[in-house]
Chains A and B, each alone.
Chain A
């Protein structure tokens, strides 16, 4: 089955800095890569996703890149703000499975 590794487990930045979270996956059949943000006491919320026919996708301060050859994808957050503080999860999903496999999460702390 699919295996997703996520790094780092904790990321501490100053407000205004950029943050990068990296994930690798094992199943070459995976073709959908969502990113979720989980705030304390809440369920994961989708913030951005990318499909395998695209190399990069942006949405305001958030961007995701995908390298299918190397089987890794990354989340980039620019101009971080304190409200970006949360746990971020990457996931990989095969078209035949319909079930995403999640990474272990990255706790992002943005200091004012």
Chain B
């Protein structure tokens, strides 16, 4: 059974550009969460989606947005990129949005902003 898959694995952008990151959850998982991991730190929560609805939002600016599709895959969009947006962006899926379910992470998309 495939795990959480993310694309692209690596990408380089320049300041001011826009980026779209994609995530496919484990089959049967209906909740997707996005995290930002800056080098040397733990993952920071950005968004959680369940059944195509936003269930939680972390302390990130409005330049960050996301959505979940009917097949439960998800996209994270970041507009007007800043140098500080350079990070590993992780997607995690779980069966639902309850606290009883563990998160399974993908390998991440490493974004470099020049």
> Measuring CB to CB, which residues of chain A are less than 8 angstroms from any residue of chain B?
4, 6, 31-32, 34, 36, 41-46, 49, 89, 91, 93-105
Q: Chain B: which residue is nearest A94 at the CB level?
A: B99
In the docked arrangement, what's the CA distance between A97 and B104, Å?
17
In the docked arrangement, what's the CA distance between A91 and B90, Å?
16
Q: Is the CB of B102 within 8 A of A89?
A: no
Q: Is the CB of A98 within 8 A of B98?
A: yes
13 intermolecular pairs with C-beta atoms under 8 Å apart: A32-B99, A34-B102, A34-B103, A43-B4, A43-B108, A44-B105, A45-B105, A46-B102, A46-B104, A93-B99, A99-B33, A99-B58, A104-B40
Q: Is the CB of A105 within 8 A of B55?
A: no
Q: Chain B: which residue is nearest A90 at the CB level?
A: B42
In the docked arrangement, what's the CA distance between A45 and B41, Å?
16
Closest Cβ–Cβ distance, residue A95 to chain B (whole Å): 5
- Nearest first, the 5 closest Cβ-Cβ pairs linking A and B are A102-B42, A43-B105, A98-B99, A95-B99, A43-B107
In the docked arrangement, what's the CA distance between A58 and B75, Å?
37
Is B24 among interface residues, defined by CB-CB distance under 8 A?
Answer: no
Q: CB within 8 A of B106: which of A6, A43, A98? A: A43
Report the interface size class on chain B. 20 to 34
Q: Residues of A contacting B56 with CB < 8 Å?
A: 97-99
- Of residues 10 through 59 on chain B, the ones whose CB sits less than 8 Å from some CB of chain A are 33, 40-45, 48, 55-56, 58
In the docked arrangement, what's the CA distance between A101 and B41, Å?
12
Q: Residues of A contacting B99 with CB < 8 Å?
A: 31-32, 93-98
Q: Residues of A contacting B40 with CB < 8 Å?
A: 104-105
Q: CB within 8 A of B107: which of A4, A42, A97? A: A42
Point out which of A93, A98, A104, A105 has the most chain B C-beta atoms below 10 A from its C-beta.
A98
Q: Is the CB of A100 within 8 A of B103?
A: yes
Q: Residues of B contacting A89 with CB < 8 Å?
A: 42-43
Q: Residues of A contacting B43 with CB < 8 Å?
A: 44, 89, 102
Q: Chain B: which residue is nearest A97 at the CB level?
A: B99
Q: Residues of B contacting A43 with CB < 8 Å?
A: 4, 90, 92, 105-108
In the docked arrangement, what's the CA distance between A103 and B105, Å?
16
